[in-house]
Structure 1
Amino acid sequence: MFDIFTNHLDLWSEALVGTLILFFGGALLALVLGFIVGAMRVSPVPIARAVGAAYVNIVRNTPLTLVFFIFVFAVPVLIPMGRTDYLLLGVLALGVYTATYVAEVLRSGINTVPVGQAEAARAIGLPFGQVMTLIVLPQAARAVVPPMMSVLIALLKNTTVAAGFSAVNLGIIRANMSERGENAMEVLIWVAIVFIVLVLLLSWVQNALERHWKVAR
């Protein structure tokens, strides 16, 4: 079964790189956008809270496949890109979709911080931004590590959806390997093994972060 790797290193390397680009690009976008939306969800400004809630409720309740359809078929029409970069569009779709879950995880973590601490910070004149970055988020980070890593693991597995939209990743390698005469079931088993290894790496990162925060207490 190792011949599946050694005889097709070009396909496996290209597919793995595509998956990692989708994951890290989508994760970065999701964390940045999710942080903004999460802050809006707990903002004292009613309009900001309403916009944040609308974004989360609309995007989170939309199937990921439909989000991909919107980005792959609508975005190139609205924003001419020349040659369509399906990998980039996949990153955008995954990031925008996953940001809703990141925002909710952050909001739940923020809610674990006693309200009195934020009120005390505002009482001494700190603006909302400093209250969040200096007082609330450092404490909330300890509570959000496990659910945040679960969101990232889900994002990693969701990268396979991009295979249906011409983005090269591990989700598309079965079809390519079948064209070279390889057994589809053996290929899928190895794809599953690769994902298991990647998830175990994320779990190791989670445990390391939890140990760090435990010592910090």
Structure 2
Amino acid sequence: MTQDSSPAAGTRTSDPSTRPASDPAPPPHVKPGMSKRKKAKISRGIQYAILLIALALVVIAADWGRLAETFLNVDVALGMFPEVITVALKNTLLFTLLGFVLGLALAIVLALMRLSSVGPYRWISAIYIEFFRGLPALVVFLVMGFGLPVAFPGMGLSKLVVIMIALGLVSSAYMAETIRAGIQAVPKGQVEAARSLGMSSSRAMITIVLPQAFRIILPPLTNELILLTKDSSLAYILGSAVGGRELAALARAEIVNSASLTPFIVIALCYLVITIPLSYLSRVLERKFGDVGTKS
């Protein structure tokens, strides 16, 4: 009687060719290696090392004595006070505020014209917006400062009015598109509900749509105010009396008088005093009102 050499019932063989198809395959051999977290940590370390090396090279190669003499002349900087605050900074804020108010008023009209059902209104608004968005602000200042007196010699506009108009024209083209987007972000159901209560289209726009739109567009309008503050530096090309100088004009005059570039550093700090709080305000408004359009 011969002994059966086949494997007993219920037992498994180690030969892969005889393993039943239903048996799970053995797990693949995992090779040891670095985790993604460790690789990211090494990558950051390399980046920090490259940055430190670059900074060290700059520190070693720079001529700090000459830089301090050219850009950090304390006597020149102190000589700009208090005029840099009482005159230049004040005029910069005044030009920016007047230009922003005029630009915002024009932008509201342009945005409503752009959304109008009347074709000529839409065409005029679109042409205006594309024209002034396509022109450099410098060209607008040159045309307004030197073109208007030639075209209308009897008008006799002051420098303040010319600067306000130039800044208003430049800013209105950008703010009009921002306001239009804010109006379109307000749900149409708001207008339909107002109309169902007997409101006219204009009253619904003024009392219902525009307040909600402005809550949505407050952050980008704050950014536009920052850009307008910097654009106000172009007013120096129009020339002005000593009492009408803004920051850029004062810096230019001080550079000519002192043969030093320190005034650039002084006015740069003044611009930062204006723009950094506005940037912080923009972030606060964005956190507060950023989701108004999506929650409505």
Q: Using structure 2 for the length normalisation, give the TM-score.
A: 0.65
Aligned pair partner of 2:203 in 130, 137, 152: 130
Matched, 1:35 2:111: no
Matched, 1:9 2:81: yes
Higher helix share: 1
Greater relative CO, 1 or 2 (CA 8 Å, sep 6+): 1
Q: CA deviation at 1:98?
A: 0.5
* Contact persistence 2:116–2:122 (CA under 8 A): yes
Aligned pair partner of 1:65 in 138, 151, 175: 138
Residues 118 and 45 of structure 1, relative CA distance in 2, 3 Å threshold: farther
Structure whose CA Rg is larger:
2
Q: CA deviation at 1:79?
A: 5.2
* Contact persistence 1:142–1:210 (CA under 8 A): no
Tell me the distance in 1 between the aligned counterparts of 2:141 and 2:116.
Answer: 30
Counterpart mapping for 1:1-217 below 5 A: 3-9=75-81, 11-12=83-84, 13-77=86-150, 78=152, 80-82=154-156, 85-167=158-240, 168-181=245-258, 183-184=260-261, 186-207=262-283, 209-210=285-286, 213=289
Local SS of the residue matching 2:135 = coil
* Contact persistence 2:223–2:282 (CA under 8 A): no
* Contact persistence 1:18–1:87 (CA under 8 A): no
Tell me the distance in 2 between the aligned counterparts of 1:118 and 1:47.
Answer: 24
Tell me the distance in 1 between the aligned counterparts of 2:177 and 2:115.
Answer: 10
The code of the aligned residue for 1:199 comes to T
Q: What is the number of equivalent residue pairs in this alignment?
A: 215
Residues 40 and 187 of structure 1, relative CA distance in 2, 3 Å threshold: same
Give the share of equivalent positions with the same residue, in percent: 32
Q: Deviations over 1:128-165 (max 9, x none)?
A: 22121222122212220111111111101101111122
The code of the aligned residue for 1:197 comes to V
* Contact persistence 2:77–2:263 (CA under 8 A): no
Q: CA deviation at 1:5?
A: 4.7
Unaligned stretches of 5+ in structure 2? Answer: 1-72
Q: Using structure 1 for the length normalisation, give the TM-score.
A: 0.87
Stretch deviating more after TM superposition (55-64 or 84-93): 84-93
Q: CA deviation at 1:74?
A: 2.0
